[in-house]
Amino acid sequence: MFRGLYAGRSFVARYIVAALASFLLLASTVREQRTGSSEFKLDPGQSTIKFTLDTTLHTVEGTFKLKGGQVILDSATEKASGQITVDATSADTGNKSRDKKMHHEILESQKYPEIVFVPQQIKGAVNTEGVSQVEVSGLFRIHGQDHESIVTLSVQREPSGVIQADGKVSVPYIKWGLKNPSSFLLRASDTVEVEIHVTGQLISDIQH
């Protein structure tokens, strides 16, 4: 009887130890996943940046070209770094006279040929596979001035390391110092809506 009771207690103890070891192993694995930093290089040829501006007469639609970018994300420390560069001289709405005014009077793209986003912080983790929702905050540099900005992204990461990220951001361009394009007959919104689609490749995955 006592022998059976002892054997039962021994089995329970071994079960508890095994369960505890499994829990610690799982926690360690999760901790390693959470403390890794990942570096991605963006592909300009597979990325698109669109913008829309509402006016009293119609909605102006246009595009920018991505010049290049490299981003390092660490979800454990919530730190981000790198730089994403957009070619300001590539802005195109499909109307030559309007584009000429946009480049000469508003963007002044000959003087400020680049629009840059410098990521500084990330909230949320980019999963090793599947879709993730993250919030990236940093500095938006346009027309020679830096402005704090937050971009919410839906990120799809494939097993091969390819990522695709989609997001939208509102740019209060007049508040940020750019010229108001409104005229006596046409009134433009003071905010440009920007839609972002970028594709990149994982080039470094470091576990802390």
* CATH assignment of the domain containing 158: 2.40.128.110
Tokens read off for 26: 């799982």
Residues 7 and 60 in one domain: no
The more confidently predicted of residues 87 and 186 is 87
Each residue of 99-146: pLDDT tens digit?
999 999 999 999 999 999 999 999 988 888 889 999 999 999 999 999
Q: What is the pLDDT of residues 59-78, one digit of tens each?
A: 999 999 999 999 998 878 99
Domain boundaries, position 195: 37-207
Q: Tell me, yes or no, whether 83 and 149 share the same domain.
A: yes
What total number of domains does the chain contain? 2
Q: What does the CA dihedral 188, 191, 192, 197 come to, rounded to 10 degrees?
A: -160
Assign 34 a pLDDT band (cuts: 50, 70, 90).
Answer: very low
CA distance 141 to 150: 13
Q: How far, CA to CA in Å, does 128 sit from each of 19, 142, 157?
A: 26, 33, 6
Residues 174 and 83 occupy one common structural domain: yes
Count Cβ atoms below 10 Å from residue 92 Cβ, excluding itself.
15
The confidence score (pLDDT) of residue 206 equals: 67
The C-alpha atoms of residue 138 and residue 149 are separated, in whole angstroms, by: 6
Q: Which two tokens stand for residue 177?
A: 């110092």
pTM equals: 0.80
Cα(87)–Cα(64) distance, rounded to whole angstroms?
A: 7
Residue 129 DSSP SS3: coil
Average the pLDDT over 43-70 and give the result: 96
Whether residues 183 and 97 share a domain: the answer is yes
The mean-pLDDT minimum among 14-23, 51-60, 82-91, 116-125 falls in 14-23
41 and 122 co-located in one domain: yes
What's phi and psi for 54, nearest 5 deg? -80, 135
154 and 64 part of one domain: yes
